[in-house]
Amino acid sequence: MADRVYYYKLVTKHALKTPLTYAACSGELLYKRVVVTVRRQKAVAIVIERCREDDEELIALLRKGIQIKTIEYVLDEHALLSAQDVRLCEWMGRYYAAFPSETYGLFVSFADAWLKEKHKNKEHKNQSDPPQAKPPSTAVLDQNHNQLAIVLNDEQTEVYRSICSELDRFNVFLIKGVTGSGKSYVYLKLALELCKRQKSVLILVPEISLVFQMQTLFLKALPIEQIALFHSKLTPKNRETVLATVRMGRARVIIGTRSALFLPQLTVLSLIIVDEEHENAYKNSSAPRYHTRDVAHQVARFRNIPLIFGSATPSLETYYAATKPTHPLSTHLPPTQPLSQVKTTTTQKLAPNNDNKRHVSSTSRLRYYVLKKRYGKVHLPTIYFNQNKILSGRISVFTKKQINQAKPSSANPAVAPSYPPSAETNLTLFSAQVIKKIEHVLAEKGQVIVYINRRGYSATPLCMNCGYYPSCPNCTVSLTYHKAQQKLRCHYCGYNEVFKKSCLKCKLEQFSYPRYGTEQVVGILRELFASTAIERFDSDELTTAKKLEARLKDFSAGTISILVGTQMLAKGHDFPAVRLMVMLYPERTLLLPDFRSYERVYRELVQASGRAGRSKLQGEVFVETTFANDPLFRLVREGRFDDFYQSELIKRQVNFYPPFSKLVRLVLRGEKLPDVKETALKLKQVVLIYFKASIAARKTQIIGPQPCLIERIKRYFRYHLTIKTVDTKAVIPMLHTIKHAHSSKKKVFIEIDIDPIDLF
Ligand SMILES: [Zn+2]
Ligand SMILES: [Zn+2]
């Protein structure tokens, strides 16, 4: 036996593009990590396949007389992956044009730290076998189940029953529930049902803070040892503990952020829930740039298990999939039609309007449920749009594009942007009406949330004398002023410098601070409400999971009266004592050159307002705006959410954007602009080879190459090429050609982004 040689294919980050073939004397290495030498370097690798004797590649290698290197030693006692995990890696490799090292890297760590650690263990030779899995007894579960009376309302019960009857196979469900409708209680009840059947549930949430919130709810019904938490901020040691718990089948409920999708060996997994399905945090920002929603869909399909999407504001793509007629409307570019014409056609509808009935669609593959009532007799907040008369006409909203276009005045003072006087920085930011409202709520010991989607003190500190503003030396963006630290920071590359009060150009001390962020808003509020506890909730303040948890606790306990936060705060949190939500000027986002900008603002409005009045006290939302008559705001005010979706869908169809086309974005970056431009033009030629016919048939549009909205980040010049197509068959072969022709040694790097969430 000892003479027999086995051949394996393995993946390591040291060989990017294809699996490598190695030999070993053991036949038991499949899905374990091993150490091998690649290009004279020791490397951690994962074994993904045992070669069959008739493997053509292997035979070819042996025939050529190439000596196949041997595996040096094995790191894992147990297999780390299952066949299903491998299948998912292969699917992701194809769909996202990702290399094996990128996809397997999601499941296992190739970190070299393992080399040292395992050596140490080998010396001690006292490794004990992990304790065997003991499935929790059903008796305990039943007891717990009885202890907690989860009372669902009629709507929730109907959804629960309907999903419960189809838990044994692949199905996709969308639960669109107004904020506070108690979607999580439906999840909990379903999870308990599956626990009784000795199965487990994976619940994905977009943010780490929501992992803890979901855990708190589940602890009401399940013992702590049956709930595993998984997110990217776990220490390596905790990570190993969670992995072991999952591997041994002890965890019945796994709550995690997107990385939890790649927990290896979730053998008894029988339901996946993607909560807050619309969140951008579900998109991975580095290769492979996967979307959690789509990967979860594949996992559920491969395993033949149900998948639930939950949201108060489903993404347009998911909403369309849930409500579209059986026959898709558009399979090619629509006839050119001016957008203005479409906007006025209010009667035009793409799908049946489900506003007035609870709708369980039977024609679409995605089952659609609507929860219209808030859980526990709580009413939805009233939303007011307050036209700020003082600022109207005076305030200008600057987009990054406008700022990019205006060169820093040190280069050419003549083109410095003409910012408005410091109107934004003074107390008129809050109208008298809103100030009165806040006073009233505070007097009654209620809590207030102020939402502003920008951090720092001022995104563009501006010299009032000469128009100079500090900009990042590495990126084409202005530097944000952080007052407490007296620092200027770039939010794109992390560059920072000390803030100097005198202007670099004219030496005068006349800075104003427009484009205010959370820090400035806190300052203004502290002036207005001197004796009130006012704190910030953004990523500058809450740098660790611990700090974040502490601040959430303080706010829940009532020691903070006003919390000023970014979108971090607007997501899914539950604060019963919040009576008033103030949103500051959401219209800034509308001006971004992004086809999703209306969807973003709509989502911000609905989600953020959902944080108010989550108890029996009626909540109120005040939106300070200079655009009170915008049609979007009218729809939100009148609660016509389905009409919003319909009008957006029409715009998307006219402009050939998702869900009516597939979007692929190729971003090129390099240190020298001419190189980037040249590569971009060559890249377009490659793309044209694949899409020439479908462009002629009006099934594909190519935009660019053109400079990205932010032309330079981290010293790299950026160009992009965007492909909108319904000719999806050509996409994968094209991307694989590009990916494989590309070498990391080249001067220009190409990022492949399938289904991008933004085009900046
Ligand atoms: Zn100046
Ligand atoms: Zn920068």
Reduce the DSSP state of residue 665 to 3 states and report it: strand
Which numbered ligand comes closest to the C-alpha of 491?
2
For residue 467, the CA-to-ligand 1 centroid distance in Å is 6
Q: Is the ipTM of this complex over 0.90?
A: yes
For residue 305, the CA-to-ligand 1 centroid distance in Å is 63
Q: Is 556 exposed, middle or buried (0-12, 13-18, 19+ CB in 10 A)?
A: middle
In this prediction, residue 481 carries a pLDDT of 95
Which residues share a beta bridge with 9? 21, 49
For residue 459, the CA-to-ligand 2 centroid distance in Å is 13
Q: What's the average pLDDT block by block, 10 residues per block, for the chain (760 residues)?
A: 80 82 89 90 90 86 85 87 90 92 88 59 42 40 53 89 91 87 90 90 90 89 89 83 83 92 81 94 92 94 93 92 63 41 37 39 67 72 76 42 39 34 53 90 91 90 90 92 94 92 92 89 91 90 82 89 86 77 84 84 82 69 85 84 90 92 94 93 92 88 92 94 90 88 79 90
Which numbered ligand comes closest to the C-alpha of 510?
1
For residue 498, the CA-to-ligand 2 centroid distance in Å is 15
For residue 418, the CA-to-ligand 1 centroid distance in Å is 13
For residue 43, the CA-to-ligand 2 centroid distance in Å is 34
Q: Is 330 exposed, middle or buried (0-12, 13-18, 19+ CB in 10 A)?
A: middle
For the record, the structure tokens of 244 come out as 């072991």
In this prediction, residue 407 carries a pLDDT of 35
Which numbered ligand comes closest to the C-alpha of 473?
2
In this prediction, residue 544 carries a pLDDT of 78
3.40.50.410, 3.30.70.100, 3.40.50.300, 3.20.20.150: which CATH number matches 138-324+364-371? 3.40.50.300
For residue 407, the CA-to-ligand 1 centroid distance in Å is 14
Q: Where are the beta strands (DSSP E) in 281-392?
A: 307-311, 366-371, 382-387
For residue 590, the CA-to-ligand 2 centroid distance in Å is 24
Which numbered ligand comes closest to the C-alpha of 712?
2
Which numbered ligand comes closest to the C-alpha of 495?
2
For residue 470, the CA-to-ligand 1 centroid distance in Å is 10
For residue 500, the CA-to-ligand 1 centroid distance in Å is 12
Spell out a b/e string for 174-192, using b for 16 or more CB atoms within 10 Å of the CB, else e. bbbbbbbbbbbbbbbbbbb
- CB-based contact 195:252 (threshold 8 Å): yes
Which numbered ligand comes closest to the C-alpha of 715?
2
φ/ψ of residue 374, rounded to 5 = -80, 150
For residue 410, the CA-to-ligand 1 centroid distance in Å is 9
Nearest to 110 by CA among 47, 23, 191: 47
Identical fold for domains 138-324+364-371 and 382-628, yes or no, is: yes
For residue 475, the CA-to-ligand 2 centroid distance in Å is 4
For residue 416, the CA-to-ligand 1 centroid distance in Å is 11
For residue 593, the CA-to-ligand 2 centroid distance in Å is 21
In sequence order, what DSSP letters do the residues of 484-508 get, joined into one string? TTTEEE-TTT--EEE--SS-TTT--
| Orientation of helix 597-609 relative to helix 641-654, angle to 10° | 160
Nearest to 33 by CA among 22, 16, 48, 54: 48
Which numbered ligand comes closest to the C-alpha of 413?
1
For residue 462, the CA-to-ligand 1 centroid distance in Å is 8
For residue 584, the CA-to-ligand 1 centroid distance in Å is 29
For residue 468, the CA-to-ligand 1 centroid distance in Å is 5
For residue 615, the CA-to-ligand 1 centroid distance in Å is 51
Which numbered ligand comes closest to the C-alpha of 503?
1
For residue 586, the CA-to-ligand 1 centroid distance in Å is 30
Which numbered ligand comes closest to the C-alpha of 714?
2
For residue 466, the CA-to-ligand 1 centroid distance in Å is 4
Whole-number Å distance between alpha carbons of 407 and 53? 65
Which numbered ligand comes closest to the C-alpha of 489?
2
In this prediction, residue 133 carries a pLDDT of 38
Whole-number Å distance between alpha carbons of 227 and 565? 29
Whole-number Å distance between alpha carbons of 38 and 563? 53
Whole-number Å distance between alpha carbons of 312 and 574? 14
Reduce the DSSP state of residue 272 to 3 states and report it: strand
Which numbered ligand comes closest to the C-alpha of 471?
2
Q: Is 286 exposed, middle or buried (0-12, 13-18, 19+ CB in 10 A)?
A: exposed
For residue 279, the CA-to-ligand 2 centroid distance in Å is 25
Nearest to 517 by CA among 481, 479, 473: 481
In this prediction, residue 547 carries a pLDDT of 85
Whole-number Å distance between alpha carbons of 412 and 435? 41
For residue 742, the CA-to-ligand 2 centroid distance in Å is 26
For residue 471, the CA-to-ligand 2 centroid distance in Å is 8
Rg of the chain over all Cα atoms, to the nearest angstrom: 28
Which numbered ligand comes closest to the C-alpha of 479?
2
Which numbered ligand comes closest to the C-alpha of 509?
1
Whole-number Å distance between alpha carbons of 180 and 659? 28
For residue 464, the CA-to-ligand 1 centroid distance in Å is 7
Tell me, rounded to whole angstroms, the distance of Cα 561 from its chain centroid.
29
For residue 685, the CA-to-ligand 1 centroid distance in Å is 47
For residue 414, the CA-to-ligand 2 centroid distance in Å is 24
Asked if the bond preceding 408 is cis, omega within 30° of 0, the reply is no
For residue 509, the CA-to-ligand 1 centroid distance in Å is 8
In this prediction, residue 357 carries a pLDDT of 37
For residue 713, the CA-to-ligand 2 centroid distance in Å is 6
For residue 709, the CA-to-ligand 1 centroid distance in Å is 27
Nearest to 423 by CA among 398, 397, 391: 391
For residue 492, the CA-to-ligand 2 centroid distance in Å is 5
For residue 714, the CA-to-ligand 2 centroid distance in Å is 6
For residue 481, the CA-to-ligand 2 centroid distance in Å is 13
6-124 topology per CATH: GIY-YIG endonuclease (3.40.1440)
For residue 314, the CA-to-ligand 2 centroid distance in Å is 33
- CB-based contact 7:23 (threshold 8 Å): yes
382-628 topology per CATH: Rossmann fold (3.40.50)
For residue 746, the CA-to-ligand 1 centroid distance in Å is 41
Q: Where are the beta strands (DSSP E) in 600-734?
A: 620-625, 662-670, 700-713, 716-725
**C-alpha neighbours within 13 Å on the C-beta side of residue 47:** 31
Q: Tally Cβ neighbours within 10 Å of residue 251.
A: 25
With tokens 């190993």, the residue in question is 240
| Orientation of helix 138-147 relative to helix 183-196, angle to 10° | 150
For residue 516, the CA-to-ligand 1 centroid distance in Å is 19
Nearest to 33 by CA among 46, 20, 49: 46
In this prediction, residue 120 carries a pLDDT of 52
Which numbered ligand comes closest to the C-alpha of 465?
1
**Class of CATH domain 662-754:** alpha beta
For residue 624, the CA-to-ligand 1 centroid distance in Å is 31
Which numbered ligand comes closest to the C-alpha of 476?
2
For residue 510, the CA-to-ligand 1 centroid distance in Å is 7
For residue 469, the CA-to-ligand 1 centroid distance in Å is 8
- CB-based contact 19:104 (threshold 8 Å): no
For residue 128, the CA-to-ligand 2 centroid distance in Å is 50
Angle at 379 between CA 360 and CA 256, to 5 degrees: 65
- Write the CB contacts of 725 (distance below 8 Å, at least 6 apart in sequence): 661, 662, 664, 691, 694, 699, 700, 701, 731
Q: Where are the domains of the chain?
A: 6-124, 138-324+364-371, 382-628, 662-754
Whole-number Å distance between alpha carbons of 21 and 43? 14
Which of 472-478's residues contact partners 24+ apart within 8 Å by CB, and which partners?
A: 474/712, 474/713, 474/714, 474/715, 475/710, 475/712, 475/713, 475/714, 475/715, 476/404, 476/710, 476/711, 476/712, 476/713, 477/400, 477/403, 477/404, 477/710, 478/403
For residue 411, the CA-to-ligand 1 centroid distance in Å is 13
Which numbered ligand comes closest to the C-alpha of 710?
2
Whole-number Å distance between alpha carbons of 550 and 80? 35
For residue 449, the CA-to-ligand 2 centroid distance in Å is 31
For residue 464, the CA-to-ligand 2 centroid distance in Å is 23
For residue 463, the CA-to-ligand 1 centroid distance in Å is 5
Which numbered ligand comes closest to the C-alpha of 506?
1
- CB-based contact 321:297 (threshold 8 Å): no
